[in-house]
Amino acid sequence: MIALTARALLTPLERIEQALLLIEDGLIAEVSSRSTRELPANCHHIDLGDALMIPGFIDIHIHGGNGHDVMEASPDALPSIETLIARHGVTSYCPTTITSGEDKLLAAVERLADAIEASDTEGGKQKTSPRAQPIGVHLEGPFISHARRGVHPPQNILRPTLALFDRFWQAARGHIRVLTIAPEVEGAQEVIAEAVRRDVCVSLGHSDADLTAARSGLAAGARHATHTFNAMRPLNHRDPGILGLVLTDPRVTADIIADGIHLDPIMVEMFMRLKGIDLAVLITDAISATGMPDGRYKLGSLEVEVRAGRCTTDGRLAGSVLTIDRAVRNLMQFAKVDLVPAVRAATANPAKVLRMEKKRGTLQPGAVADITVLNSDNEVIRTIVNGFC
């Protein structure tokens, strides 16, 4: 048994001072305070001193990092990405595809399924340094709007059909956790309903939907929104469109890229005021350039130029170099919120989106021992994945 002690702990719904957390077989066995509980006999004690323990961050939208893309065939790609993001407190993530040729996309999701199953089989055991674990594929495209495609290649955008969705599902062997889709495109309603039947979180995004079409997507079972404001029909006071629904409907969780580039800080503040502490999710949309110097990098098959933190191709934003720990601190600054809602937006809330809230995004008995350790400046000083300390 491993015993961790620290100044405090966020579950993140509750704060516990003089925290004591016990780990057994990769799971949290107990969470308590040293003011009421002594260290168990014969445990391996790790004192984290003046630090704060929080649940491990969960990034449900990430394309790459450390010079690698999640769609690469290289066996070094995912381990390199996972090592980088673990240093920034991420313990689990959804490797996210970009619209590509059908064969390339099928091959990519099959490789990602291999990685997810290998991670499950190994029980999260880490040989050298902690690595974030892939917990499900996020299929971003090809079922998106041409009008709001962003940098997704137009020639590879496909009309959603049940047969095509099933082809991706079979290649992923059931490991698709999130599907971003534009609800207004022909065939979307049927695919949304089928994806929901298979327990996929359907997320509205890359969409030019008016309010009626957005409501149709919600009626079919969609319940989340992808990088809110970006690649969406703009909000208009006489034509609220998809954003009018996303920002006001309490049935919809929504994520944002809080890097100060994709959204002005005042928009982040407005988003938090409208969605509140329970429905807001932080993502990075990070690409292969994350953790790397300025230069040219890949996003799927696209070449992206990175300068001063801005990622562009043909003048359009193409992902980010944001890390989730930075997103948490940015949210605190931009939206003028304290640490608790910011941590929830990167832990409990994405876990709820994935319907994994009992096992991830929380520090409670029975949950996976995924823990991020912060110093007094809310910087990551240690990451524990599946109890690997």
Return d(Cα 371, Cα 384) in angstroms, integer: 5
The two tokens of residue 194 are: 């089928």
- The CA-CA-CA angle for residues 32, 36, 39, to 5°, reads 70
- The CA-CA-CA angle for residues 285, 88, 336, to 5°, reads 75
Q: What is the CA radius of gyration of the chain?
A: 20
Name residues whose C-beta falls within 8 Å of residue 282's C-beta, 6 or more positions apart in sequence.
255, 256, 258, 324, 327, 328, 331, 342, 345, 346, 350
- Size of the chain in residues: 389
Catalytic one among 208, 255, 285, 325?
285
Give first-to-last CA distance, the chain, whole Å: 12
285 counts as catalytic: yes
Indicate left, alpha or beta for 106 from its phi (over 0: left) and psi (-120 to 50: alpha). alpha
Cα dihedral 380→72→361→318 (10° resolution): 70
Residue 85 near residue 323 (C-beta atoms within 8 A): yes
3-state secondary structure 249-279: CCCCEEEEECCCCCCCHHHHHHHHHHHHHHH
Return d(Cα 225, Cα 210) in angstroms, integer: 14
Closest by CA to 82, choosing from 139, 52, 127, 37, is 127
Beta-carbon neighbour count of residue 62 at 10 Å?
Answer: 28
Q: In angstroms, how far is CA 143 from the centroid of its own chain? A: 20
Annotated catalytic residues are: 285
